[in-house]
Amino acid sequence: MIEQLKGIHETVSYKTNTHLRLYYNSENEHYPMHWHTELEILCPIHEDYVAICNNVRYTLNETDMLFIFPGVVHELPATPVGKRIIFQVDGNFLNTIHDVKTIFSLMAPAVHVSAKATPELHKKIFPMMQEIQKLYTEGPLLYEASIMSRTLEMIAILGREYESHPMTLHMTEGVSQSNSKYNETMTNVCNYISIHCSENLTLDQMAEYAGFSKFHFERLFKQSTGLTFYQYLTQKRISYAEFLLTNPSLSITEIAYRSGFSSGSTFARTFRQLKDYSPSDFRSMRKK
């Protein structure tokens, strides 16, 4: 499936005269760590499938969907049996829409739409994925426009759901929404972090904001998100920094401070650790 890979950067080969690529994939092949500028949607049709995004493991049951956002490093372990849809759409095109760019940065690295955990959301989105597959396969007049329309509608639905229930969309393997009686509090905490990620937030401050002891808050936060408080905060800062990097008038040092890092060197080191490329590389790729 990966046709052009330089280092860990994949260049996606679109269908002729489109900004789209869809595979009906049944290969027993391991796709190593890689990233690309496309939005990728995985949807197992027969048997389960596993994806690893930024070191977070997602197990997808049949008809589940995983939205992997542009620039996210991910890995797809080999699966001996099964079939799945792998749909990729030009992220540079999608990012020309300001609302889409913003919601991508907030929902990164990935969103799992599960038939079990989020049934109402799944009922809205899975039929659109089926329509996209049919349109792509049959290729009627203006099929690319129709596919883009459905893709944007799925993103809009996810964005509205994220605004109301961010924790629901960021559940990872082994974390059950029903097991936590603190979902509303954790949702408020995540919303607060997303809005104030560039500020000097500390674990003690957020524990006080949530009304828990530091150690109790730390445990609940990890249980709810699959990440520690500082891992989550760092991811949000890097996502915000990616948005700032699209502005050529800002220096990388200024972006470092604006996105909440104490120095340019700390920002560059952290950015490379999470993305496997530097802020300058990211800016150059965006410019191209």
Name the percent of the chain lying above pLDDT 90. Answer: 50
126-155 mean pLDDT: 96
Amino acid identity for residue 260 in this structure: G
Report the chain's C-alpha Rg in angstroms. 19
Largest CA distance in the chain: 60
Q: What is the pTM of this model?
A: 0.65
Q: Please tell me the chain's helix, strand, coil percentages from 3-state DSSP, rounded to the nearest 5.
A: 50, 20, 35
Residue with tokens 């620039």, as numbered in its chain: 71
H or E element in which residue 45 lies: strand 39-46
Which residues share a beta bridge with 57?
A: 52
Select from 229, 206, 216 the least CA-distant residue to 181.
Answer: 216
32-44 mean pLDDT: 93
Which residues share a beta bridge with 41?
A: 67, 87
pLDDT digit string (tens) for 184-239? 687 778 878 888 899 999 999 999 998 888 888 888 888 777 789 999 999 899 98
CA–CA distance, 288 with 276 (Å, rounded to integer): 18
Residue 177 has pLDDT above 60, yes or no: no
And the tokens for 201? 């937030």
pLDDT: which is higher, 281 or 41: 41
Mark 186-200 as b/e (b = at least 16 C-beta within 10 Å): bbebbbebbeebbee
Residue 170 has pLDDT above 60, yes or no: no
Residue 122 has pLDDT above 50, yes or no: yes
For 198, residues 6+ apart whose C-beta sits below 8 A from its C-beta are: 237, 240, 258, 259, 260
What is the per-residue pLDDT for 271? 94
